[in-house]
Every structure is written in structure tokens, then in C-alpha cells.
Structure 1
Amino acid sequence: MSVQQHKKEAPRKVNCKVITVSDTRTKETDKSGSLIIKMLEENDHSIHDYDIVTDDYEVIKEAVKKGCLDKEIDVVLLNGGTGIAKRDVTVEVVQSLLEKELTGFGEIFRILSYLEDIGSAAILSRAIAGVSYGTAIFSMPGSSGAVKLAMEKLIIPEISHVVREIRKDSK
């Protein structure tokens, strides 16, 4: 079956949880979380939950796991906490929960970042995606430029396809 056929069979709408990882942002100042929500809604997906959590391993893990275990949520999208500073642990949290990693997400995100935006600084950019508890997870850097790039070029074009692939195993 072709990729085009898979996409035709994919759900038109998926339910999402958005998590912003930050010690300083609030719902009023969270430009990246708001951008994710806006882009999802513009593409007819629904926001089932939205949280802002601190850069703390256990707090992030609990928020992600809660989203993955909620049967109403198909996709958890995180932004923030992906740098290389000591407190940046989002990628490690997501890695610890993944049953399957979509390595191409981080690889292509860095290539696009290099080509379209930040040049060699892309080597510092950490992004990860995969599947946990039958739920897709996408974790991207917290800058609005990085969010726009990941959402526009990778996540929005494939989010329904990813959910279709996960669901086909549960039929």
C-alpha cells in the first residue's frame, strides 16, 4: 500500500495534548504553545489538554504519561527543555517512555534547521518523536521558530498518518 493510500485512510482529526516545558512561561506568555495549538486547530485537529510544566524530570514524565494513558488523546506534543543545559531533560524523559522511536523526526528537523534557519547551531538542537502506550509523541525545541518549522514541515503533514499507523495495530 502506498503512502498516499495510507494518508487517505488516516483520520481527518486527531485529539492532542500540548505540553510546554518552561520555568518561566505562563499561558499568557507561551508563544510556542499557543502556536502549536493554533496550527493544530487550523488543520482541524482538536486540543484535548494543554499544560505548562517546569523543567523537572518527574514533572515532565508525569504530564507526558498522563497524556499517553488518556484514551481520548492520540498525540502528545511538547516544546521546550530540549537544549543541552543541565536542566534540559525533556528528550531524556521522552526517550525513557518510548516503545518505538521515530528517529527520522529529529534527523530531518536538524537538517531543516540547518538549511532554513540556524546553520551550524543545528547540532545543538534536540528533537525526538515516537510512540508510547499507543500514543504518538513529538518533542521539539521551545522557540517559536523551531515550533513553526517542526509543525509546518513535519508534524502537520504526517500527524494523521502516524495516528493511522498506530491504530492499525489495535484493530
Structure 2
Amino acid sequence: MQKKSPETPRKLNVCVLTVSDTRTEADDNSGRLIRERLEEAGHEVVARIICPDDKNAILKAIESWIGKKEANAIFITGGTGISYRDVTIETIRPFFTKELTGFGELFRYISYAEDIGSKALLSRAAAGAIGEKVVFALPGSVKAVALAMDRLVMPELLHIHYELTKHL
């Protein structure tokens, strides 16, 4: 006998992590934009943290959210470039049970075509699943976050969650 697929929820509980050595609550515009886009769509931000560009700090935040059943998705902004301090991708990629390679590819394509041209090459934006949670690692730029959220994330977020949580 097959198990029934879960009903697609209309609201997800999400966590937002800003990775930055300089941002504070007052000037974390990218983290704020992620929260606003999610809340406008009816989702609830259940946790929001700002941490330095440091592998251990990123791990501490991510590991605390991975084990929480009430968290459906994790959004990270910052630390996705190629500078020495940018360690977000190296930190989270080992946790991915499935990587959504199309996200990074499409994000760079849209960035190239509609925004920054060949500078899109420097982005290592990524997404993947950690069990039944989707994780998006977005650049720290407000413009890049808006592009990713509006063009890629928000149109597919509920569908991605459904696919990760359905059990046949």
C-alpha cells in the first residue's frame, strides 16, 4: 500500500542567516528583503541570525536549524563570492543530500543577462536539500537577493518543499 503524499502547505516556516563580518540588524538589507518577500507570500520567519564569515559560526546556525522539525527551509545571504573570507558554500555543501544545480546555473544566467553581465561568473550561489529542508545560499547583494527571490525562489518554493516531503 502506498503512503499518501502530504497536502501542499500554503505556509512554510523558514530560517534566515546573514553571513557578514560587518552587517547588523539595522543595516542587514539583504536579510530583511528575504524576510519581507517570504512574509508577503504568507510564510513565517521563525529564526533570523547574523553571523561572521566564519565556518564554525555558519555551522552552528545551520546545525541548530537542521534538527528542528518546524523549520521547512533555510535561506542564507552572503559569503557566496570568491574572496578568501567567503566560506558559505564550502560549509553547507557537505550537508546537501541533494544539490539543486539548476538554481545556481539559472541564477548566474539571469544575473548575466539582466543585471551584471560577466561579473555573474563570480557568484557561487547554490541551493540544495538537507533531508526534507531546502537551503538557498544567496549572494549578499540586495539586488542579487531580489533577483533570486523574485525570479527563481518564490515561484518554486512550495513546489520544492512538496517534492522533498512527498513519500510514495
TM-score if structure 2 supplies the norm length? 0.94
Match of 2:25 in 1: 27
Q: Deviations over 1:56-112 (max 9, x none)?
A: 011101211211211110000000001101110001111111110000000000000
Q: Is the CA contact (8 Å cut-off) linking 1:68 and 1:134 kept in structure 2?
A: no
In 1, distance between residues paired with 2:64 and 2:161? Answer: 18
Aligned partner letter, 1:70 = K
Q: Does 1:49 align with 2:59?
A: no
Give the unaligned 5+ runs of structure 2.
Answer: none
Aligned partner letter, 1:148 = A
Q: Deviations over 1:32-61 (max 9, x none)?
A: 000000000001111010000110011101
In 1, distance between residues paired with 2:110 and 2:8? Answer: 25
Q: Is the CA contact (8 Å cut-off) linking 1:94 and 1:128 kept in structure 2?
A: no
Q: Does 1:168 align with 2:166?
A: yes
Matches within 5 A, 1:153-164: 153-164=151-162
Q: Is the CA contact (8 Å cut-off) linking 1:82 and 1:91 kept in structure 2?
A: yes
Aligned partner letter, 2:44 = S
Identity of aligned residues (%): 48
In 1, distance between residues paired with 2:140 and 2:8? Answer: 28
Give the unaligned 5+ runs of structure 1.
Answer: 1-5
Secondary structure in structure 2 of the residue aligned to 1:41: helix
Match of 1:3 in 2: none
1:167 CA drift (Å): 1.0
Q: Among 106, 109, 112, which residue is 1:108 paired with?
A: 106
Match of 1:18 in 2: 16
1:134 CA drift (Å): 2.1
Q: Among 72, 87, 96, which residue is 2:85 paired with?
A: 87
Aligned partner letter, 2:94 = S
Q: Among 97, 100, 120, which residue is 1:99 paired with?
A: 97
In 2, distance between residues paired with 1:104 and 1:65? Answer: 25
The CA RMSD over aligned residues, in Å, is: 1.3
Q: Deviations over 1:117-160 (max 9, x none)?
A: 00000000111111113211000100000100000011111111
In 2, distance between residues paired with 1:152 and 1:84? Answer: 24
Secondary structure in structure 1 of the residue aligned to 2:85: coil
Match of 1:69 in 2: 67
Between the two proteins, the alignment pairs up a number of residues equal to 163
